Chain A
């Protein structure tokens, strides 16, 4: 078979894949027109491509198994456990730190910083502790939301609410009661359909505490937005969401908690 130097095997492959420019395609077609055997070979390659796509494209429409989606959205378990272990160590340090901060407050030039920053740290620890939980992420599930909110409000000593975050694709999982540095604290957990989680930490504030703007903290892999508004302190934490996403949700929560 005489092969004109202008048409190579690579050209034929690219032709079979429909990847040649208009001019080149015309040249190859002319070349093939004079060689029925080669033309049939290339046509068979095209049919093979069609058959492959027909055979495997249906996989694209199959529902994605939950375990794959969870793996895609969450850090590997071993690393999460390591992260929690890190938090437990940090928790042990917190006692010492709290003492240091308390001493700091007594200073005339004591920073008001300690207030929110301690809350942000505690909120991040709570997030790292409970968000990897598969079976017991919350004490009371979203199916008993009314009871949950009433119970937490009573124990925290302030009116707490579980904001609706459907707009952000987050559904309430439920909530639990936690010990805070000066009394019980409420923790609500939300998650997306893909299992990405965030927690909302709410504590009652002492009368004298000033209101604050949004503040951002990042501890290990947990992002936290926190603020104090009227009689409550709020902290939203997530290891699964970006800072921007979390800020958007924090804004949503802030708006809903306005009276």
Chain B
């Protein structure tokens, strides 16, 4: 299988991660698009035979960090909990929106670790490599992200709903 085919194969996973990372569908797909373009431009830096998936998530992470840096001003509004764009999704729409909001309130670096571990099911070592941080930092960010989310969900009275989902 060549790179193009493997890229196509990985698109759904990139989209899932991007959706959780940025919230609304259009921005998420923009992020995926930018990631794929960057991947083609940087493909010569990818060592074939290594994990293309991990490399792509690194590329996406860098693209995202640069985007966020460019729009940092709007990020400071996070505490006001802006209404996030409504998205079409299966499952409990209310719960998804609560989750969206809660995730959006996490610091970006904690969000990335939590999502790579939980959604992508990357090992802690893979996450450390993908984000270019020590594994101890992965563990502490993961722990803080979870604890924040837990408290937020309790605060919103959504803990009961979480149980329903399980």
Contact = CB atoms under 8 A, between A and B. Distances in A.
Interface in B107-166: 114-115, 117-119, 123-124, 139, 142-143, 146-147, 149-150, 153, 159, 162-163, 165-166
A79 B41 CA distance: 9
B90 to A, nearest CB: 5
Contact of A73 (B8, B16, B89, B114): B8
A59 B162 contact: no
A9 B143 contact: yes
Interface in A99-155: none
Which secondary structure characterizes the binding site on chain B? Answer: helix
Nearest to B13: A60
Nearest to A65: B29
Contact of B12 (A16, A19, A62): A62
Contact of A55 (B13, B32, B91, B149): B91
A1 interface: no
A72 B99 contact: no
B146 A48 contact: yes
B15 A64 contact: yes
Contacts of A9: 139, 143
Nearest to B28: A59
B7 interface: yes
A71 B37 contact: yes
Contacts of B11: 64, 68-69, 72
Interface in A216-259: 240-242, 245
Contacts of A72: 4, 7-8, 11, 36
B40 A13 contact: no
A17 interface: yes
Contact of B36 (A10, A58, A71, A241): A71
12 contacts: A13-B139, A13-B146, A44-B153, A52-B115, A58-B90, A60-B13, A60-B16, A62-B15, A71-B36, A72-B36, A76-B37, A194-B8
Interface of A: 9-10, 12-14, 16-17, 19, 41, 44-62, 64-65, 67-69, 71-76, 79, 194, 196, 240-242, 245
